[in-house]
Amino acid sequence: MTASRRDDLHPDVEMMLAALEAGFPDVTEFSAPELRDIITSRRAPLAHEPDMRIARDVTIEGEGGDLALRIFVPHNVDESQLGDAPALLPVIVFAHGGGFVFCDLDSHDEFCRSMAECVAAIVVAVDYRLAPEHRSPDAMRDVYSALRWAAGNIEDYGGDRSRIALAGDSAGGNLAAATALYARDHGGPSIAAQILLYPVIDDDFETESYRLYGVGYYNSTKAMRWYWEQYAPGGSQDPYVIPMRATSLAGLPPALVATAELDPPCSAGEEYARRLAAAGVPVRAHRFDGLFHGFLTFPSLSLTPPARERLWAMMRDALAPSAPADPASH
């Protein structure tokens, strides 16, 4: 199925979307293992850039067994001061996107390194269990295990356990939001911020952004339906699976919600930001106009570096010591 795109897009966005539409596999035509193999085979070798003071894979005990994490400590930390309170950096527990089905620590390695360097934070990336082999809420429980591990161990890496944020892009944004809800309801570790990047926050396919951008903008309605069916077949009323189902959002950590205009889940992400603000949660909401789902992980796109700079600045504000509450903004 094809659809004409808007004629006012930046030429580089138009070229990137055309390439993605032509080259990205139709996820509905493959099994999950086949899809992962296809996507991994097209991935460029890891460049290990930008360089980190520490980039270390560790294994912790998760609810489903061994859980792999990758810890990124930027050069902003003086190694001789690790563990010394004045040098402690904020911490970001990060869940990657990939429709709950694919991607891993390597797929988001460059993004996590850049985030660590530019936000001046320690990033703990989580290799959570993937669907459909592991249905909801297994992935969320893995992110929660990583959060608990960070709260108990991150000072060994120079991290400030009083400034731990949850973050994620796409499906990872769902997992960050759901983990924040779970931690609130189960007496979990304190969370300084939830950073939701074009989050897949709901399974409502009838929103305005689905209507406008569900075909022809890389992330399609057809694909989104398939992703949800892998993770939560038949739907769910569980807020730890679909955060929009939460009866109350009161008492959640301050939120940074970044959406992409040309993205089917955009409307739901913006509605979640409004609901958070209405519940008294400090929210900063920002829509990247003229950009599409996943753009932050395409550094070769000319519009991505300046968008990242905007995002990094907002993240630094969200993680600053005693950061003042931002009013809801759009």
Model pLDDT for residues 184-193, shown as the tens digit of each residue: 999 999 999 9
> Residues 163-189: pLDDT tens digits?
999 999 999 999 999 999 999 999 999
> Residues 6-50: pLDDT tens digits?
999 999 999 999 999 999 999 999 999 999 999 999 999 999 999
In 3D space, the residue among 131, 147, 98 whose CA is nearest the CA of residue 236 turns out to be 131
**CA distances to 34, 53, 92, 136, 157 from 152, in Å:** 37, 21, 14, 26, 11
C-alpha angle 64-71-239 in degrees, rounded to nearest 5: 45
Give the Cα separation of 297 and 44 in Å (integer). 13
Q: What is the pTM of this model?
A: 0.94
Looking from the CA of 74 toward its CB, the CA atoms found within 13 Å total 22
Residues designated as active site: 170
In 3D space, the residue among 156, 155, 174, 157 whose CA is nearest the CA of residue 166 turns out to be 174
Look at residue 77 in the predicted model and tell me its pLDDT. Answer: 57
Fold of the 11-319 domain: Rossmann fold (3.40.50)
The rounded mean pLDDT for the chain is: 94
Give the Cα separation of 200 and 196 in Å (integer). 9
Sign (positive/negative) of CA torsion 97, 305, 299, 46?
Answer: negative
